[in-house]
Amino acid sequence: MLKVQKLTLAVLIHAIGLTSVYASEQSEAKGFVEDAEGSVLFRNGYLYRDKKNGVHDTSSWAQTAIFNLESGFTKGIVGFGVGAVGDLSFKIGDNKNSANNMIPRDSNGEPYDHWARGGASVKARMSNTTVRYGTQVLDLPVLASNTARLVPEYFTGVLANSREIENLELIAGKFTKDQMSDQISTDGNNLDRAVVWGAKYKFNDQINASYYGLDSKDKLERHYINANYKLPLANDSSITYDFSGYHTEWDRDAVTGYTTASNPADRSNNIWAISGTYNQNAHTVMLAYQQNTGNTGYDYAYNADGFQSIYLPNSYLSDFIGNHEKSAQVQYNLNLNDYGIPGLNWTTAFVYGWDIKTPTTDDAQEREFFNQVKYTVQSGFAKDASLRIRNSYYRASDAYQGMYIGDTNEWRIFLDVPVKLF
């Protein structure tokens, strides 16, 4: 593990010293103020889960304003800048049954009426390499911030990103705080130390590949690989093949769901997926197969390892990640721009999972029927505002009811209005 980390860091440091084969980002810096950008996203979010089998329903509704402020970089060989992210929110209604990481609660278990979160960062750039320290929203396969709730998950730490070699992106970082969407404390998940590293390479317009790693102190080690191939076809159509997979090993002190491992220090998981996506104009069809092996399900988000760290296709309300589970999916997407309604998009999918190991059986099942309609305003004063309505119909066999989601009908309604400040 340490050898992999050191090798990645060495490559990153070496890349900084290389003469770029294409234009330097820093050489084109316009200035601290001149390149500054600021935006706010006004979001109204509603999440309702209609639970079955005597389980209490949950319902959350709130309004937020999510800010993102970025200075430009100062001119010179090394440029410096600052940034800030944060959110101001208030609940709508009493939200006595709020849950699902939407609204924080006080020490008495009562939902907050209003709340605010956020933080700042400093950044430096030399050539095409940027280093940032502070509060960040991460988008890494092994450490990804949850952005599917009212407000995002924040991590605090340092991240270096280097693109000194054309088509190659290297990252390395260390994070010491993790704040989930419904947490007020900047380290509500008690992250000790998470070290990340990785590389992504674009071979050509058709082939991409990537690898990322994570070492969370006293919790887990996780590795991710991906390969993607797009084959152009006649009549403006294409087929995209995608393979992705994770390998995870948990430490003795880590938290997981159900495992068949007799020794807590011997928990491991391999999960992989392959998909094929056919696209022609307005129509997209995807077929996917996903499989778990090892003695533990792919239990992410238990150990401050990112509540969205699952870059796999069979992920909707359920992620189909039970112990030893196999799952298959068919998805259809329709872009109604070709039918005279620009900005309107519909996605439907069905996923079936089987062979799930539980304490009582080796053949538990789950299934989900998913639908989402999203409309984005194309022009005018409300340009880029969007309304997204999503529904999941989820059912599981009796042996899997109390171990995961349980039978649920879910609705999510999100209205997003982005505003550019400067």
Q: Which structure tokens are listed for 12?
A: 């990153």
**107: Cβ–Cβ under 8 A, 6 or more apart, which residues?**
none
Q: Are 377 and 384 in contact (CB under 8 A)?
A: yes
Closest CA to 208 of 163, 172, 244: 244
Please tell me the predicted confidence (pLDDT) of residue 14. 55
Closest CA to 194 of 180, 212, 215: 215
Residues facing residue 250 across a β-bridge: 220
4: enclosing H helix or E strand: helix 2-16
Residues facing residue 38 across a β-bridge: 69
- Report the pLDDT averaged over residues 33-37: 96
User: Distance between CA 323 and CA 294 in Å, rounded?
Assistant: 8
User: Distance between CA 214 and CA 231 in Å, rounded?
Assistant: 32
Residues facing residue 293 across a β-bridge: 270
Largest CA distance in the chain: 65
φ, ψ dihedrals at 86, nearest 5°: 180, 175
**362: Cβ–Cβ under 8 A, 6 or more apart, which residues?**
324, 355, 356
3-state secondary structure 364-409: EEEEEEEEEEEEECCCCCCCCCEEEEEEEEEEECHHHHHHCCCCEE
- When pLDDT is cut at 50, 70 and 90, the band that residue 1 belongs to is low
User: Distance between CA 344 and CA 214 in Å, rounded?
Assistant: 38
Superfamily of domain 1-30+62-201, CATH level 4: Porin (2.40.160.10)
Distances from the Cα of 227 to the Cα of 78, 100, 140, 270, 325, angstroms: 34, 32, 15, 17, 22
Tell me the three state secondary structure of residue 120.
strand
What digits encode the pLDDT tens for the residues 155-203? Answer: 999 999 999 999 999 999 999 999 999 999 999 999 999 999 999 999 9
What digits encode the pLDDT tens for the residues 318-337? Answer: 999 999 999 999 999 999 99
End-to-end Cα, the chain, rounded Å: 44
Radius of gyration, alpha carbons of the chain: 22
User: Distance between CA 402 and CA 237 in Å, rounded?
Assistant: 44
Residue 11, pLDDT > 60, answer: no
What digits encode the pLDDT tens for the residues 228-283? Answer: 999 999 999 999 999 999 999 999 999 999 999 999 999 999 999 999 999 999 99
The domain made up of 203-422 has a fold known as Porin (2.40.160)
Please tell me the predicted confidence (pLDDT) of residue 23. 76
Q: Within 10 A of 292 (CB to CB), how many other CB atoms are there?
A: 24
Please tell me the predicted confidence (pLDDT) of residue 22. 63
Distances from the Cα of 396 to the Cα of 219, 326, 351, 352, 393, angstroms: 29, 14, 12, 10, 11
Tell me the three state secondary structure of residue 6.
helix
**13: Cβ–Cβ under 8 A, 6 or more apart, which residues?**
none
- When pLDDT is cut at 50, 70 and 90, the band that residue 2 belongs to is low
What digits encode the pLDDT tens for the residues 190-221? Answer: 999 999 999 999 999 999 999 999 999 999 99
User: Distance between CA 304 and CA 189 in Å, rounded?
Assistant: 6
Spell out the domain ranges in the chain: 1-30+62-201, 203-422
